[in-house]
Amino acid sequence: MNLKLIYVSVLAFGVAGLIVFTYLQSCIEDQRTGSEEKMQLQMINQDFGSYSTEESEKAKENWIAGKYFHKDSKALIESEGYQEPNHFENRTEDSLTTNFSEDPKKVLKQLRGMNFSSNKHYLNKFFNRNNNWKVTNEIQERRKFLLRDICQKYVKKTQIPLVHMVSRIYVEDKYKVLYCEVPKAGCSNWKRILMILGGLANSAANISHNSVHYGGNLNKLDSYNLTEIQKRLKTYTKIIFVRDPMERLVSAFRDKFEHPNIYYHPVFGKAIIKKYRPNADKKALTTGSGVKFKEFIQYLLDPYRPLGMDIHWEQINKLCYPCDIDYNFIGKFETLEKDANYILKLINAPDEVQFPHFKDRHSTDKRTNSEVIRKYLSEIPAAERLQVYGFYYLDYLMFNYTIPYKAFQSDLMHNQPYL
Ligand SMILES: *[C@@H]1O[C@H](CO)[C@@H](O)[C@H](O)[C@H]1NC(C)=O
Ligand SMILES: *[C@@H]1O[C@H](CO)[C@@H](O)[C@H](O)[C@H]1NC(C)=O
Ligand SMILES: *[C@@H]1O[C@H](CO)[C@@H](O)[C@H](O)[C@H]1NC(C)=O
Ligand SMILES: *[C@@H]1O[C@H](CO)[C@@H](O)[C@H](O)[C@H]1NC(C)=O
Ligand SMILES: *[C@@H]1O[C@H](CO)[C@@H](O)[C@H](O)[C@H]1NC(C)=O
Ligand SMILES: *[C@@H]1O[C@H](CO)[C@@H](O)[C@H](O)[C@H]1NC(C)=O
Protein backbone atom coordinates (compact mmCIF):
# COMPACT_ATOMS: atom_id res chain seq x y z
CA MET A 1 0.00 0.00 0.00
CA ASN A 2 1.40 3.35 -0.84
CA LEU A 3 1.25 6.45 1.29
CA LYS A 4 -1.40 8.14 -0.72
CA LEU A 5 -3.76 5.24 -0.71
CA ILE A 6 -3.53 4.93 3.04
CA TYR A 7 -4.01 8.61 3.49
CA VAL A 8 -7.07 8.54 1.33
CA SER A 9 -8.43 5.51 3.14
CA VAL A 10 -8.13 7.31 6.39
CA LEU A 11 -9.85 10.29 4.97
CA ALA A 12 -12.66 8.17 3.66
CA PHE A 13 -13.03 6.36 6.92
CA GLY A 14 -13.03 9.56 8.90
CA VAL A 15 -15.38 11.47 6.71
CA ALA A 16 -17.85 8.65 6.41
CA GLY A 17 -17.73 8.29 10.18
CA LEU A 18 -18.31 11.98 10.49
CA ILE A 19 -21.37 11.73 8.30
CA VAL A 20 -22.81 9.04 10.50
CA PHE A 21 -22.09 10.90 13.70
CA THR A 22 -23.39 14.16 12.44
CA TYR A 23 -26.43 12.50 11.10
CA LEU A 24 -27.14 10.87 14.42
CA GLN A 25 -26.69 14.10 16.20
CA SER A 26 -28.96 15.99 13.89
CA CYS A 27 -31.50 13.24 14.19
CA ILE A 28 -31.44 13.44 17.92
CA GLU A 29 -31.37 17.15 18.30
CA ASP A 30 -33.51 17.77 15.27
CA GLN A 31 -32.22 21.26 14.80
CA ARG A 32 -29.79 21.05 11.97
CA THR A 33 -30.34 23.85 9.56
CA GLY A 34 -30.12 23.80 5.81
CA SER A 35 -26.99 25.90 5.73
CA GLU A 36 -25.14 23.69 8.17
CA GLU A 37 -25.94 20.77 6.00
CA LYS A 38 -24.69 22.55 2.96
CA MET A 39 -21.46 23.41 4.66
CA GLN A 40 -20.99 19.84 5.60
CA LEU A 41 -21.57 18.62 2.10
CA GLN A 42 -19.07 21.12 0.87
CA MET A 43 -16.55 19.83 3.32
CA ILE A 44 -17.13 16.26 2.31
CA ASN A 45 -16.83 17.10 -1.34
CA GLN A 46 -13.65 18.98 -0.74
CA ASP A 47 -12.16 16.08 1.09
CA PHE A 48 -13.10 13.49 -1.43
CA GLY A 49 -12.87 15.82 -4.36
CA SER A 50 -9.24 16.67 -3.95
CA TYR A 51 -8.34 13.00 -4.09
CA SER A 52 -10.86 11.91 -6.61
CA THR A 53 -8.82 9.21 -8.22
CA GLU A 54 -9.52 5.58 -8.77
CA GLU A 55 -7.73 4.87 -5.54
CA SER A 56 -9.84 7.22 -3.47
CA GLU A 57 -12.99 5.75 -4.90
CA LYS A 58 -11.77 2.35 -3.97
CA ALA A 59 -10.94 3.48 -0.45
CA LYS A 60 -14.31 4.99 0.06
CA GLU A 61 -15.96 1.91 -1.28
CA ASN A 62 -13.97 -0.22 1.07
CA TRP A 63 -14.99 1.82 4.03
CA ILE A 64 -18.58 1.68 3.04
CA ALA A 65 -18.44 -2.05 2.45
CA GLY A 66 -17.05 -2.37 5.94
CA LYS A 67 -13.72 -3.70 4.76
CA TYR A 68 -11.91 -1.76 7.41
CA PHE A 69 -13.88 -3.35 10.17
CA HIS A 70 -12.02 -6.02 11.91
CA LYS A 71 -13.34 -9.48 11.30
CA ASP A 72 -14.64 -9.72 14.84
CA SER A 73 -16.76 -6.61 14.79
CA LYS A 74 -18.05 -7.46 11.37
CA ALA A 75 -18.97 -10.88 12.56
CA LEU A 76 -20.66 -9.36 15.56
CA ILE A 77 -22.66 -7.02 13.44
CA GLU A 78 -23.54 -9.61 10.87
CA SER A 79 -24.22 -12.69 12.85
CA GLU A 80 -24.27 -12.24 16.53
CA GLY A 81 -26.60 -9.39 17.32
CA TYR A 82 -28.72 -9.61 20.36
CA GLN A 83 -32.15 -10.68 21.45
CA GLU A 84 -34.98 -9.08 23.38
CA PRO A 85 -36.24 -6.73 24.79
CA ASN A 86 -39.60 -6.67 23.04
CA HIS A 87 -39.37 -3.11 21.86
CA PHE A 88 -36.46 -4.01 19.62
CA GLU A 89 -38.54 -6.64 17.92
CA ASN A 90 -39.11 -4.88 14.65
CA ARG A 91 -35.84 -3.50 13.48
CA THR A 92 -35.40 -1.44 10.40
CA GLU A 93 -32.93 -2.39 7.75
CA ASP A 94 -29.41 -2.84 8.95
CA SER A 95 -27.50 0.05 7.49
CA LEU A 96 -24.21 -1.80 7.45
CA THR A 97 -25.63 -4.20 4.91
CA THR A 98 -27.06 -1.40 2.83
CA ASN A 99 -25.24 -0.61 -0.37
CA PHE A 100 -24.27 3.00 -0.03
CA SER A 101 -23.81 5.22 -3.01
CA GLU A 102 -20.38 6.20 -4.22
CA ASP A 103 -21.43 9.79 -4.08
CA PRO A 104 -21.03 11.36 -0.62
CA LYS A 105 -24.05 13.56 -1.23
CA LYS A 106 -26.15 10.53 -1.86
CA VAL A 107 -24.70 8.74 1.14
CA LEU A 108 -25.94 11.53 3.34
CA LYS A 109 -29.33 11.30 1.74
CA GLN A 110 -29.39 7.56 2.22
CA LEU A 111 -28.51 7.94 5.85
CA ARG A 112 -31.28 10.44 6.25
CA GLY A 113 -33.68 8.05 4.63
CA MET A 114 -33.02 5.43 7.24
CA ASN A 115 -35.47 5.42 10.03
CA PHE A 116 -33.74 5.92 13.30
CA SER A 117 -36.35 5.36 15.93
CA SER A 118 -38.08 8.24 17.62
CA ASN A 119 -41.18 6.69 19.08
CA LYS A 120 -39.67 4.37 21.65
CA HIS A 121 -39.80 4.57 25.40
CA TYR A 122 -36.44 5.93 26.23
CA LEU A 123 -37.27 8.63 28.71
CA ASN A 124 -36.44 7.62 32.18
CA LYS A 125 -38.74 9.45 34.49
CA PHE A 126 -37.02 7.85 37.41
CA PHE A 127 -34.25 10.41 37.11
CA ASN A 128 -36.35 13.49 37.00
CA ARG A 129 -36.86 13.98 40.69
CA ASN A 130 -34.23 16.49 41.50
CA ASN A 131 -33.87 19.76 39.67
CA ASN A 132 -30.27 20.19 40.71
CA TRP A 133 -29.40 17.34 38.44
CA LYS A 134 -31.29 18.54 35.43
CA VAL A 135 -28.25 18.67 33.18
CA THR A 136 -27.15 15.20 34.18
CA ASN A 137 -30.68 13.98 33.51
CA GLU A 138 -30.66 15.45 30.06
CA ILE A 139 -27.27 13.99 29.23
CA GLN A 140 -28.54 10.61 30.36
CA GLU A 141 -31.58 10.86 28.14
CA ARG A 142 -29.39 11.58 25.19
CA ARG A 143 -26.95 8.81 25.90
CA LYS A 144 -29.76 6.31 26.23
CA PHE A 145 -31.51 7.58 23.16
CA LEU A 146 -28.37 7.23 21.09
CA LEU A 147 -27.68 3.76 22.42
CA ARG A 148 -31.20 2.61 21.55
CA ASP A 149 -30.86 3.91 18.06
CA ILE A 150 -27.54 2.23 17.50
CA CYS A 151 -28.85 -1.02 18.89
CA GLN A 152 -31.82 -0.88 16.66
CA LYS A 153 -29.87 -0.02 13.56
CA TYR A 154 -26.72 -2.06 13.88
CA VAL A 155 -27.26 -4.92 16.22
CA LYS A 156 -29.25 -7.93 15.28
CA LYS A 157 -31.03 -10.36 17.52
CA THR A 158 -29.27 -13.25 19.09
CA GLN A 159 -30.05 -15.98 21.51
CA ILE A 160 -27.40 -15.54 24.12
CA PRO A 161 -28.63 -17.06 27.39
CA LEU A 162 -29.62 -14.51 29.98
CA VAL A 163 -27.26 -16.03 32.52
CA HIS A 164 -24.36 -15.31 30.21
CA MET A 165 -25.49 -11.76 29.54
CA VAL A 166 -25.56 -10.90 33.21
CA SER A 167 -22.32 -12.61 34.09
CA ARG A 168 -20.40 -9.35 34.53
CA ILE A 169 -23.02 -7.69 36.67
CA TYR A 170 -22.51 -7.21 40.39
CA VAL A 171 -25.40 -7.09 42.82
CA GLU A 172 -25.96 -4.86 45.81
CA ASP A 173 -29.23 -5.87 47.43
CA LYS A 174 -29.54 -3.28 50.15
CA TYR A 175 -29.65 -0.28 47.84
CA LYS A 176 -30.87 -2.34 44.91
CA VAL A 177 -28.04 -1.67 42.50
CA LEU A 178 -26.77 -3.70 39.57
CA TYR A 179 -23.38 -2.64 38.28
CA CYS A 180 -21.90 -4.05 35.11
CA GLU A 181 -18.16 -4.19 35.36
CA VAL A 182 -16.15 -2.63 32.55
CA PRO A 183 -12.47 -2.94 33.44
CA LYS A 184 -10.35 0.19 33.03
CA ALA A 185 -13.37 2.43 33.40
CA GLY A 186 -13.40 2.99 37.13
CA CYS A 187 -14.54 -0.47 38.12
CA SER A 188 -12.30 -0.96 41.16
CA ASN A 189 -13.73 2.08 42.84
CA TRP A 190 -17.24 1.09 41.92
CA LYS A 191 -16.75 -2.28 43.51
CA ARG A 192 -15.43 -0.56 46.61
CA ILE A 193 -18.58 1.52 46.74
CA LEU A 194 -20.75 -1.58 46.41
CA MET A 195 -18.87 -3.16 49.30
CA ILE A 196 -19.42 -0.09 51.45
CA LEU A 197 -23.10 0.05 50.56
CA GLY A 198 -23.47 -3.59 51.45
CA GLY A 199 -21.79 -3.03 54.82
CA LEU A 200 -18.72 -5.09 53.93
CA ALA A 201 -16.32 -2.22 54.60
CA ASN A 202 -16.47 1.21 56.09
CA SER A 203 -14.01 3.15 54.00
CA ALA A 204 -12.98 2.90 50.39
CA ALA A 205 -9.37 3.67 51.21
CA ASN A 206 -9.18 0.58 53.40
CA ILE A 207 -10.19 -1.87 50.71
CA SER A 208 -7.14 -3.20 48.90
CA HIS A 209 -7.07 -3.87 45.20
CA ASN A 210 -6.89 -7.59 45.82
CA SER A 211 -9.81 -7.74 48.17
CA VAL A 212 -11.86 -5.77 45.65
CA HIS A 213 -11.15 -8.17 42.82
CA TYR A 214 -10.37 -11.47 44.43
CA GLY A 215 -12.02 -11.22 47.82
CA GLY A 216 -15.23 -12.87 46.63
CA ASN A 217 -17.13 -10.28 48.60
CA LEU A 218 -19.60 -9.26 45.96
CA ASN A 219 -22.27 -11.39 44.37
CA LYS A 220 -22.56 -11.66 40.63
CA LEU A 221 -26.01 -11.68 39.12
CA ASP A 222 -25.43 -15.00 37.38
CA SER A 223 -25.12 -16.72 40.76
CA TYR A 224 -28.89 -16.41 41.25
CA ASN A 225 -31.61 -18.48 39.67
CA LEU A 226 -33.60 -17.14 36.72
CA THR A 227 -36.51 -15.88 38.80
CA GLU A 228 -34.19 -13.95 41.06
CA ILE A 229 -32.22 -12.58 38.11
CA GLN A 230 -35.38 -11.34 36.40
CA LYS A 231 -36.69 -9.83 39.58
CA ARG A 232 -33.51 -7.82 40.06
CA LEU A 233 -33.29 -6.77 36.43
CA LYS A 234 -36.83 -5.43 36.68
CA THR A 235 -36.58 -3.57 39.94
CA TYR A 236 -32.96 -2.54 40.57
CA THR A 237 -31.06 0.49 39.33
CA LYS A 238 -28.85 -0.82 36.53
CA ILE A 239 -25.67 1.06 35.82
CA ILE A 240 -22.77 0.83 33.43
CA PHE A 241 -19.65 2.96 33.12
CA VAL A 242 -17.85 3.24 29.81
CA ARG A 243 -14.70 4.84 28.51
CA ASP A 244 -13.18 5.92 25.22
CA PRO A 245 -12.28 2.59 23.60
CA MET A 246 -8.75 3.54 22.62
CA GLU A 247 -7.99 4.98 26.02
CA ARG A 248 -9.33 1.87 27.61
CA LEU A 249 -7.18 -0.32 25.38
CA VAL A 250 -3.96 1.60 26.02
CA SER A 251 -4.72 1.77 29.70
CA ALA A 252 -5.20 -2.00 29.82
CA PHE A 253 -1.93 -2.55 28.00
CA ARG A 254 0.00 -0.31 30.36
CA ASP A 255 -1.53 -1.88 33.43
CA LYS A 256 -1.04 -5.50 32.40
CA PHE A 257 2.18 -5.47 30.41
CA GLU A 258 4.29 -2.58 31.59
CA HIS A 259 4.32 -3.66 35.22
CA PRO A 260 5.20 -7.02 36.72
CA ASN A 261 2.17 -9.25 36.57
CA ILE A 262 1.99 -12.88 37.58
CA TYR A 263 -0.85 -13.69 35.24
CA TYR A 264 -0.63 -11.51 32.15
CA HIS A 265 3.10 -11.96 31.55
CA PRO A 266 3.32 -15.75 31.73
CA VAL A 267 -0.02 -16.34 30.05
CA PHE A 268 -0.57 -13.60 27.47
CA GLY A 269 2.95 -12.18 27.33
CA LYS A 270 4.61 -15.49 26.51
CA ALA A 271 2.13 -16.39 23.80
CA ILE A 272 2.31 -12.94 22.25
CA ILE A 273 6.11 -12.81 22.16
CA LYS A 274 6.31 -16.32 20.81
CA LYS A 275 3.99 -15.61 17.93
CA TYR A 276 4.77 -12.01 17.01
CA ARG A 277 8.42 -11.40 17.84
CA PRO A 278 10.83 -12.87 15.36
CA ASN A 279 14.09 -13.99 16.97
CA ALA A 280 12.84 -13.41 20.48
CA ASP A 281 15.52 -14.08 23.05
CA LYS A 282 15.23 -16.86 25.53
CA LYS A 283 14.54 -14.65 28.52
CA ALA A 284 11.59 -12.92 26.86
CA LEU A 285 10.21 -16.28 25.78
CA THR A 286 10.36 -17.71 29.27
CA THR A 287 9.13 -14.72 31.26
CA GLY A 288 6.67 -13.21 28.80
CA SER A 289 7.73 -9.80 30.06
CA GLY A 290 8.37 -6.80 27.84
CA VAL A 291 5.54 -7.17 25.34
CA LYS A 292 5.52 -4.18 23.02
CA PHE A 293 2.34 -2.32 22.21
CA LYS A 294 2.87 -3.16 18.55
CA GLU A 295 2.95 -6.86 19.39
CA PHE A 296 -0.08 -6.60 21.59
CA ILE A 297 -2.02 -5.01 18.72
CA GLN A 298 -0.90 -7.78 16.37
CA TYR A 299 -2.40 -10.23 18.83
CA LEU A 300 -5.60 -8.22 19.18
CA LEU A 301 -6.18 -8.07 15.44
CA ASP A 302 -5.14 -11.62 14.66
CA PRO A 303 -8.12 -13.75 13.65
CA TYR A 304 -6.03 -16.72 14.75
CA ARG A 305 -4.85 -15.19 17.98
CA PRO A 306 -3.13 -17.75 20.16
CA LEU A 307 -5.25 -16.90 23.18
CA GLY A 308 -8.78 -15.66 23.53
CA MET A 309 -9.88 -12.21 24.53
CA ASP A 310 -9.65 -10.84 28.01
CA ILE A 311 -12.16 -8.66 29.81
CA HIS A 312 -9.68 -5.80 29.99
CA TRP A 313 -9.66 -5.36 26.23
CA GLU A 314 -12.92 -7.01 25.27
CA GLN A 315 -15.48 -4.72 23.64
CA ILE A 316 -17.85 -3.16 26.13
CA ASN A 317 -20.84 -4.30 24.12
CA LYS A 318 -19.72 -7.89 24.59
CA LEU A 319 -19.20 -7.50 28.31
CA CYS A 320 -22.42 -5.81 29.32
CA TYR A 321 -24.94 -6.38 26.50
CA PRO A 322 -26.27 -2.84 26.55
CA CYS A 323 -28.75 -3.61 23.78
CA ASP A 324 -30.45 -6.24 25.86
CA ILE A 325 -30.11 -4.91 29.33
CA ASP A 326 -31.86 -1.65 29.70
CA TYR A 327 -29.33 0.23 31.80
CA ASN A 328 -30.85 3.09 33.76
CA PHE A 329 -27.64 4.99 33.87
CA ILE A 330 -24.75 5.18 31.40
CA GLY A 331 -21.83 6.75 33.17
CA LYS A 332 -18.57 7.76 31.58
CA PHE A 333 -15.08 7.45 32.91
CA GLU A 334 -14.46 10.94 31.56
CA THR A 335 -16.98 12.30 34.10
CA LEU A 336 -16.62 9.51 36.58
CA GLU A 337 -16.94 11.27 39.90
CA LYS A 338 -19.79 13.50 38.87
CA ASP A 339 -21.75 10.64 37.38
CA ALA A 340 -21.01 8.37 40.30
CA ASN A 341 -22.05 10.87 42.93
CA TYR A 342 -25.25 11.43 41.03
CA ILE A 343 -26.05 7.75 41.23
CA LEU A 344 -25.27 7.66 44.92
CA LYS A 345 -27.85 10.41 45.43
CA LEU A 346 -30.28 8.60 43.25
CA ILE A 347 -30.18 5.38 45.22
CA ASN A 348 -30.31 7.31 48.50
CA ALA A 349 -26.91 6.24 49.68
CA PRO A 350 -25.80 7.79 52.97
CA ASP A 351 -24.20 11.20 52.50
CA GLU A 352 -20.83 10.07 53.80
CA VAL A 353 -20.47 7.58 50.98
CA GLN A 354 -18.56 9.47 48.33
CA PHE A 355 -16.98 8.09 45.23
CA PRO A 356 -13.22 7.79 45.83
CA HIS A 357 -10.99 9.63 43.43
CA PHE A 358 -7.83 7.65 43.84
CA LYS A 359 -6.24 5.45 41.23
CA ASP A 360 -5.42 2.30 43.07
CA ARG A 361 -2.63 0.78 41.02
CA HIS A 362 0.50 2.29 39.62
CA SER A 363 -0.69 5.55 41.06
CA THR A 364 2.49 7.34 40.05
CA ASP A 365 1.95 6.57 36.36
CA LYS A 366 0.54 9.30 34.26
CA ARG A 367 -3.15 8.85 33.56
CA THR A 368 -3.83 7.52 30.10
CA ASN A 369 -4.84 10.69 28.28
CA SER A 370 -4.92 11.69 24.64
CA GLU A 371 -1.26 12.64 24.59
CA VAL A 372 -0.28 9.25 25.95
CA ILE A 373 -2.59 7.57 23.44
CA ARG A 374 -0.95 9.36 20.55
CA LYS A 375 2.44 8.15 21.64
CA TYR A 376 1.33 4.54 21.73
CA LEU A 377 -0.57 4.75 18.48
CA SER A 378 2.46 6.16 16.71
CA GLU A 379 4.16 2.83 17.37
CA ILE A 380 1.81 0.85 15.18
CA PRO A 381 1.35 0.92 11.41
CA ALA A 382 -1.41 3.16 10.12
CA ALA A 383 -3.37 0.32 8.59
CA GLU A 384 -3.48 -1.46 11.92
CA ARG A 385 -4.55 1.69 13.69
CA LEU A 386 -7.56 1.82 11.42
CA GLN A 387 -8.31 -1.78 12.18
CA VAL A 388 -8.20 -1.14 15.89
CA TYR A 389 -10.78 1.59 15.50
CA GLY A 390 -12.81 -0.81 13.43
CA PHE A 391 -12.49 -3.46 16.09
CA TYR A 392 -14.12 -1.17 18.65
CA TYR A 393 -16.48 0.39 16.16
CA LEU A 394 -19.70 -0.54 17.91
CA ASP A 395 -18.44 0.77 21.23
CA TYR A 396 -17.59 4.04 19.54
CA LEU A 397 -21.06 4.31 18.10
CA MET A 398 -23.02 3.16 21.10
CA PHE A 399 -21.37 5.51 23.54
CA ASN A 400 -20.82 8.51 21.31
CA TYR A 401 -17.05 8.49 21.21
CA THR A 402 -15.46 10.02 18.15
CA ILE A 403 -12.79 8.50 16.02
CA PRO A 404 -10.16 11.24 15.75
CA TYR A 405 -9.56 11.14 12.04
CA LYS A 406 -7.75 14.46 12.13
CA ALA A 407 -5.08 13.02 14.37
CA PHE A 408 -4.75 10.18 11.92
CA GLN A 409 -4.14 12.45 9.04
CA SER A 410 -1.36 14.35 10.68
CA ASP A 411 0.22 11.17 11.97
CA LEU A 412 0.23 9.80 8.48
CA MET A 413 1.69 12.86 6.96
CA HIS A 414 4.45 13.25 9.47
CA ASN A 415 5.33 9.81 10.59
CA GLN A 416 6.35 8.17 7.40
CA PRO A 417 8.64 5.69 9.08
CA TYR A 418 5.59 3.88 10.39
CA LEU A 419 4.15 3.19 6.99
C1 LIG B 1 -43.53 -6.47 14.86
O2 LIG B 1 -44.05 -6.81 13.62
C3 LIG B 1 -45.02 -7.86 13.64
C4 LIG B 1 -45.45 -8.15 12.21
O5 LIG B 1 -44.49 -7.82 11.30
C6 LIG B 1 -46.21 -7.43 14.50
O7 LIG B 1 -47.13 -8.49 14.58
C8 LIG B 1 -45.70 -7.07 15.89
O9 LIG B 1 -46.78 -6.58 16.66
C10 LIG B 1 -44.65 -6.03 15.81
N11 LIG B 1 -44.09 -5.80 17.16
C12 LIG B 1 -43.92 -4.60 17.67
C13 LIG B 1 -43.35 -4.55 19.04
O14 LIG B 1 -44.17 -3.57 17.07
C1 LIG C 1 -25.51 -4.83 -2.75
O2 LIG C 1 -24.53 -5.07 -3.72
C3 LIG C 1 -24.20 -6.43 -3.91
C4 LIG C 1 -23.09 -6.55 -4.93
O5 LIG C 1 -22.73 -5.34 -5.45
C6 LIG C 1 -25.46 -7.18 -4.36
O7 LIG C 1 -25.15 -8.55 -4.51
C8 LIG C 1 -26.54 -7.00 -3.33
O9 LIG C 1 -27.73 -7.62 -3.78
C10 LIG C 1 -26.81 -5.54 -3.06
N11 LIG C 1 -27.74 -5.43 -1.96
C12 LIG C 1 -28.80 -4.63 -1.97
C13 LIG C 1 -29.63 -4.62 -0.73
O14 LIG C 1 -29.06 -3.93 -2.92
C1 LIG D 1 -39.13 5.65 7.12
O2 LIG D 1 -40.40 6.02 7.63
C3 LIG D 1 -41.19 6.75 6.72
C4 LIG D 1 -42.47 7.16 7.43
O5 LIG D 1 -42.71 6.40 8.55
C6 LIG D 1 -41.47 5.90 5.50
O7 LIG D 1 -42.24 6.61 4.56
C8 LIG D 1 -40.16 5.50 4.86
O9 LIG D 1 -40.36 4.63 3.78
C10 LIG D 1 -39.25 4.81 5.87
N11 LIG D 1 -37.95 4.57 5.29
C12 LIG D 1 -37.34 3.43 5.33
C13 LIG D 1 -35.99 3.35 4.69
O14 LIG D 1 -37.81 2.45 5.92
C1 LIG E 1 -22.12 13.22 21.52
O2 LIG E 1 -20.94 13.93 21.81
C3 LIG E 1 -20.95 15.27 21.37
C4 LIG E 1 -19.62 15.92 21.71
O5 LIG E 1 -18.64 15.03 21.92
C6 LIG E 1 -22.08 16.03 22.01
O7 LIG E 1 -22.11 17.35 21.53
C8 LIG E 1 -23.39 15.34 21.71
O9 LIG E 1 -24.44 15.99 22.38
C10 LIG E 1 -23.32 13.89 22.12
N11 LIG E 1 -24.53 13.22 21.72
C12 LIG E 1 -25.21 12.42 22.54
C13 LIG E 1 -26.41 11.79 21.96
O14 LIG E 1 -24.88 12.21 23.69
C1 LIG F 1 -8.29 1.92 57.89
O2 LIG F 1 -7.25 1.04 58.28
C3 LIG F 1 -6.34 1.65 59.17
C4 LIG F 1 -5.21 0.65 59.42
O5 LIG F 1 -5.62 -0.65 59.24
C6 LIG F 1 -7.06 2.00 60.48
O7 LIG F 1 -6.16 2.62 61.37
C8 LIG F 1 -8.20 2.94 60.15
O9 LIG F 1 -8.95 3.20 61.32
C10 LIG F 1 -9.10 2.34 59.09
N11 LIG F 1 -10.06 3.33 58.71
C12 LIG F 1 -11.34 3.07 58.63
C13 LIG F 1 -12.22 4.20 58.26
O14 LIG F 1 -11.78 1.97 58.84
C1 LIG G 1 -34.84 -19.21 43.31
O2 LIG G 1 -34.16 -18.77 44.46
C3 LIG G 1 -35.02 -18.34 45.49
C4 LIG G 1 -34.16 -17.75 46.60
O5 LIG G 1 -33.04 -18.54 46.85
C6 LIG G 1 -35.89 -19.49 45.96
O7 LIG G 1 -36.76 -19.06 46.99
C8 LIG G 1 -36.69 -20.00 44.80
O9 LIG G 1 -37.43 -21.14 45.16
C10 LIG G 1 -35.79 -20.34 43.63
N11 LIG G 1 -36.61 -20.63 42.48
C12 LIG G 1 -36.39 -21.67 41.70
C13 LIG G 1 -37.31 -21.80 40.55
O14 LIG G 1 -35.50 -22.46 41.92
E strand or H helix that includes residue 178: strand 177-180
Ligand number with the minimum distance to the CA of 352? 5
- Per-residue three-class SS string for 21-40: HHHHHHHHHCCCCHHHHHHH
Q: Ligand 3: distance of its center to the CA of 78 in Å?
A: 23
pLDDT at 305 (0 to 100): 87
- pLDDT for 405: 58
Give the DSSP H or E segment for 241.
Answer: strand 237-242
Nearest alpha carbon, ligand 5 atom 5: 206
Element (H, E) at 246: helix 245-257
Pocket test for ligand 3, best of 90, 109, 115 (most atoms within 8 A of CB): 115
The pLDDT assigned to 383 comes to: 78
Determine which helix (DSSP H) or strand (DSSP E) holds 239, and give its type and residue range.
Answer: strand 237-242
Distance of alpha carbon 35 from alpha carbon 30, whole angstroms? 14
The ligand placed nearest to the CA atom of residue 92 is 3
Q: Ligand 5, residue 203: give the atom nearest the CA.
A: 13
Query: Which ligand does the CA of 89 lie closest to?
Result: 1
Ligand 6 atom 4 nearest Cα: 228
How far is residue 404 CA from its own chain's centroid? 14
Averaged pLDDT in 10-residue chunks for the chain of 419 residues: 45 43 31 37 33 37 39 36 29 38 52 39 37 77 93 82 92 94 90 89 79 80 94 94 95 94 93 96 96 96 89 93 94 90 88 79 72 88 82 90 63 41
- How remote is the CA of residue 296 from the centroid of ligand 1, in Å? 45
Per-residue pLDDT, 381:
84
- Output the pLDDT for position 117: 32
Distances (CA, A) of 14 to 18, 53, 217, 383, 407: 6, 18, 45, 13, 10
Whole-number pLDDT of residue 77: 34
State the pLDDT at residue 351: 87
> Is there an atom of ligand 4 within 6 Å of 22 CB?
no
How many whole angstroms from 362 Cα to the centroid of ligand 5? 22
Whole-number pLDDT of residue 367: 75
pLDDT, residue 417, reads 33
- In short, whether 202's Cβ falls inside 6 Å of ligand 5 is yes
State the Cα–Cα distance between residues 293 and 249, nearest whole angstrom: 10
Crossing angle of helices 293-301 and 245-257, in 10° steps, is: 120
